[in-house]
Amino acid sequence: MKSEQTIPQHIAVIMDGNGRWATRRGMKRHEGHRVGVESARTLVTHCRKIGVRHLTLYTFSTENWARPEEEKRVLFDLLVRFLKGELSSLLEQDIRLRILGEIERFPLAVREMLKHVLRKTAHCKSMTLNLALNYGGRDEILRAAQTLAGQGLRPEEITPEVFADALYTHGQPDPELIIRTSGEKRISNFLLWQAAYSEFYFTDTLWPDFTPEELDKALEEFSSRQRRFGKTGEQVED
């Protein structure tokens, strides 16, 4: 077991359990989303502080379009407010925003705010904040295949590197650690290609209760794991 903590370059989070957090308190699901945004805000700053280079937050999946109109409206409204409120803080912390997913399906106000923050933070270099929006792993892989087919590449030209370059995450390392809150133990169409060798950390904590201390617990466990990439335990021992 390694003694010092290893900080992953890229952490990805499935922020789950907002609805249950609220209903358990006799509140509307909206309240869970509202408090969940605060957890996200705090996590971004904490990750930047400890030296994480890429943070990916699963914010709205391709399947989440099936949610009630009212809930989607609240989520989009919270997203616009978050972006508006965070822009100066992102710039101050030198954090660049990137979007994983196709944003054309979102209402105009959401698209405009996203484009604004993307433009304003494009020069930031200390950390990349990826918001997975209208994101689905299958959709991403399918689009990459379609893009490459459209470019008329020959089969042997489609290498893993070329393929990865056609994904939303192009130019970024795969996440070493994927965290899912709320006790669910599934991938829910998240980063299907990129998660090939990620370590998974599951916690029963609901997303609105997820604090930097919870992240530290995940990092502690991550540091104690041995990543093998298909080799034997002896081969990777350093």
The contact set with Mg ion (CB under 5 A) reads: 16
Residue 64 falls in the annotated catalytic set: yes
Which CB sits closer to ligand IPE, 184 or 220? 184
Q: Which position among 18, 64, 77, 238 bears the catalytic label?
A: 64
Q: How far is the CB of 27 from ligand IPE (least distance, A)?
A: 12
Is 59 in contact with 67 (CB distance < 8 Å)?
A: no
Which CB sits closer to Mg ion, 33 or 96? 33
Round to whole Å and give the CA distance between 194 and 221: 21
Pick from ligand IPE, Mg ion, none: which does 20 bind, CB < 5 to 8 A by kind? ligand IPE
Which residue lies nearest ligand IPE, judged by its C-beta? 19
Residue 189 falls in the annotated catalytic set: no
Which CB sits closer to ligand IPE, 63 or 112? 63
Residues that bind ligand IPE in the complex, under the rule CB under 6 A: 14-20, 58-61, 64, 75, 182, 184, 186, 188, 207
Nearest to 16 by CA among 222, 179, 126, 154: 179
Q: How far is the CB of 16 from Mg ion (least distance, A)?
A: 4
3-state helix vs strand vs coil in the chain, percent to 5: 50, 15, 35
Which CB sits closer to ligand IPE, 11 or 93? 11
Round to whole Å and give the CA distance between 233 and 48: 32
Instruction: Give the burial class of 69: count Cβ atoms within 10 A of its Cβ; 0-12 exposed, 13-18 middle, 19 or more buried.
Output: exposed
Q: What token pair was written down for 162? A: 């070329």
Annotated catalytic sites, by residue?
16, 64
